Amino acid sequence: MHLVDRLPSGQDQLFIGLHLIHEVTSPQAFQMLRERGLTVLYPQRTFATVDHIVPTENQKRPFADPLAEAMMQALEKNTKEFGIEFFSLDTEYQGIVHIIGPELGLTQPGMTIACGDSHTATHGAFGAIGFGIGTSQIRDVLATQTMAINRPKVRQIYVKGDLGKGVYAKDIILRIMADLGVEGGLGFAYEYAGPTISKLDMEERMTICNMSIEGGARVGYVNPDQVTFDYLKGRRYVPQGSAFEKAVEFWKSLASPPDAQYDDRYELDATKIEPMVTWGINPGHGIGVTQNMPRVDDVPEHEREGVKKAYAHMNFKEGAPILGQKIGVAFIGSCTNGRISDLREAAKVVKGKKIADGVRAFVVPGSKQVALQAEKEGLDRIFREAGFDFRGAGCSMCLAMNPDKLKDDEISASSSNRNFIGRQGSPRGRTLLMSPAMVAAAAIAGKVVDVREYL
Amino acid sequence: MSLPTRALITGRGIPVMENDIDTDRIIPARFMKTVTFEGLGQYAFYDARFNEDGSKKGHPFDLPQFQGGTILITGRNFGCGSSREHAPQALHKYGIQAIIGESFAEIFIGNCTSLGIPCVSLNKEDVESLAQLVEENPEVIITIDLNEKLVKTAEQNFYLEINESFRKSLAEGIWDTTAELLQNKEKIKTLYDKLPYTKGFVA
């Protein structure tokens, strides 16, 4: 449906229905357009926001960081010059690019979506195909509304069984990463299916699709269903009235048929999933919270070097429990887990309690809309009374391009998506990935605990 | 736009033999606070090369025997993580012309191809043999031949793997995708008009 042509290289030329841009990966692309005398072919199909560098504490312009200010100004100039709608800090719709797309109803089933960010698979939760792209490809999409791609194979990840109390979508995807590895998805698109996935709401599905890239799969999606259509109805960019009925009809026609063939299939029993915690330096280094960290000699030979490197950085003892590991920072937010349902689940754990002495704890809503809703529900007060900071919307400490950073070798409990060395702003910093409820419980206890005992 | 072919790349190697080297390793996010790609070469592998006091850790990029090397040799799943083109840009500006590894993350390999940097895969044994060869004799001259699909040294040749469309793009000098895509402007317009959502599902 979106195939324009087969290119001389053999790649497919794919039409991109929705292009999302932000301040970090787009300025060079606009510069390339200027150098070549090109323009934006369909500016009405590109939308911009600012998220990565946004300070979450003081958002007054000019920003305190002149480099961040320069990036902000570049985006303002580029969107104005090329006629692209920009959800800036002056609007009520600014936020993390993968949170605002769905929120505004820009993300719709069957669309091809591209963004200069690897977590673009998030939009796959709607039965869209989201591609994370680099800056040269942003140039391609701006100039031609198309991009060159190689067709992936498809692996169906079939999840059955009910999730236990205190076990969330985040735990499903961390379990998948632990089982299939961080390179297991190379060359594949992941289709998440099965009764457990069908029962998840849209925000939970987004959490799962979001982390596909951490398993090596550039694309991840869930087939659209009534849950999807109900979420979209009435949103700003979704057609209304009879056009909506037509849209639903079209969207329904897109789902994989029951007899679809897959290049590979993986089945997971959700009843066996515990709250997950990562102990190492990639998102595949996850274990159930009651399990012990692996011994180097117990892991397959080809993973041993990586596991040794992980222990050298984390300074943890092999074979020790993760339960009880002290933390210094708690971060709730990111495109993985910065939505209203994430804040609600975390607030349930936090309500009426105080964070442990010596812990720095932040809630960074994924968008202004999430922040406004949280305030309406009084969640901001619950967090503040417990000792959390409740900040402005942005990517924040997920990748620490703003002032929110780990110090020295601090350990953070984080609801984000990557525990790579140095990811949260300190080259020696250490990140433990987990669900927002687990982060909330860790903030209260000052150490890794089992959230099931806090519910 | 006609581009040079990248069918043959010859140079000395720099072995960085680890698996799952992510793009935050290749260039930490704090160095991406810029609106250009200029000057990124100095930040390639920054935190793996330098201690916080600025002293060197002894990373292969700083070892005297590998200076002037242009072919990076690495392990499995190189370039995993973020889509930042700053990563291949930093390597390229440092002087890397091609990468030989066991496997590559998909967005990363696409970004490299857009810049004319071939990423070619060897099997585990071969990549380890090649790295060993370079460790023992850093002066070894390596040639990546995309036409014959071989990585060649005076002592030994290795069969390489690369996605056929990437191979063709690089070998034939058609890796500037914008130029290729623009050829189909009419077809793009036809498709745009046909898709129901571009008109808000109003016929």
A255 pLDDT band (50/70/90 cuts)? confident
A428 touches chain B (CB under 8 A): yes
pLDDT digits (tens, 9 = 90+) for A43-69: 999 999 999 999 999 999 999 999 999
Q: Which CATH superfamily is domain A3-149 in?
A: Aconitase, domain 3 (3.30.499.10)
Q: What CATH class does A153-236+247-272 carry?
A: alpha beta
Residues 6+ apart with CB under 8 A from A193: A156, A157, A158, A159, A222, A223, A256
Say if residues A305 and A270 touch (Cβ distance below 8 Å).
no
A258 pLDDT band (50/70/90 cuts)? confident
Identify the pLDDT of residue B1.
Answer: 53
Chain B residues close to A77, C-beta within 8 Å = none
CB contact under 8 A, A5 and B184: yes
Say if residues B6 and B66 touch (Cβ distance below 8 Å).
no
Task: Write down the domain spans for chain A.
Answer: 3-149, 153-236+247-272, 276-454
pLDDT digits (tens, 9 = 90+) for A126-159: 999 999 999 999 999 999 999 999 999 999 999 9
pLDDT digits (tens, 9 = 90+) for A345-365: 999 999 999 999 999 999 999
Question: Helices A202-210 and A97-104: crossing angle, nearest 10°?
Answer: 150
CA dihedral A447, A408, A343, B24 (to 10 degrees): -120
What is the strand order of the sheet A146-149 is part of? A3-6, A12-15, A146-149
Question: What gap in Å lies between CA A221 and CA A121, rounded to an integer?
Answer: 7
Minimum distance, in Å, between the CA of residue A144 and any CA atom of chain B: 6
Does this complex have an ipTM over 0.95? yes
Q: What are phi and psi of A109, to 5 degrees?
A: -55, 145
To probe the interface with A, which of B17, B37, B178, B199 has the most A CB atoms within 10 Å? B178
Question: What gap in Å lies between CA B187 and CA B89, rounded to an integer?
Answer: 32
Kindly report the length of chain B. Answer: 203
* Number of CB pairs, chain A paired with chain B, less than 8 A apart: 215
B106 touches chain A (CB under 8 A): yes
Which helix (H) or strand (E) segment is B166 a member of? helix B164-172
* Pick from A177, A248, A185: nearest CA to A207: A177
Using CB atoms, pick whichever of B103, B177, B197 lies closest to residue A183. Answer: B103
Question: What gap in Å lies between CA A152 and CA A223, rounded to an integer?
Answer: 17
pLDDT digits (tens, 9 = 90+) for B60-94: 999 999 999 999 999 999 999 999 999 999 999 99
B36 touches chain A (CB under 8 A): yes
Say if residues A168 and A435 touch (Cβ distance below 8 Å).
yes
Q: Which CATH superfamily is domain A276-454 in?
A: Aconitase, domain 3 (3.30.499.10)
What is the secondary structure of B140-156 as a DSSP string? --EEEETTTTEEE-SS-
Cα A307 to Cα A171, A280, A285, B47: the distances in Å are 21, 8, 8, 19
CB contact under 8 A, B83 and A133: yes
Q: What is the pTM (predicted TM-score) of this model?
A: 0.98
Per-residue pLDDT at A102 exceeds 60:
yes
List the domains of chain B with CATH numbers: 8-175 (3.20.19.10)
- Six-digit token pair at B105? 């993350």
Residues 6+ apart with CB under 8 A from B35: A27, A28, A31, A70, A71, A74
Per-residue pLDDT at B5 exceeds 70:
yes
Question: What gap in Å lies between CA B37 and CA B77, rounded to an integer?
Answer: 24
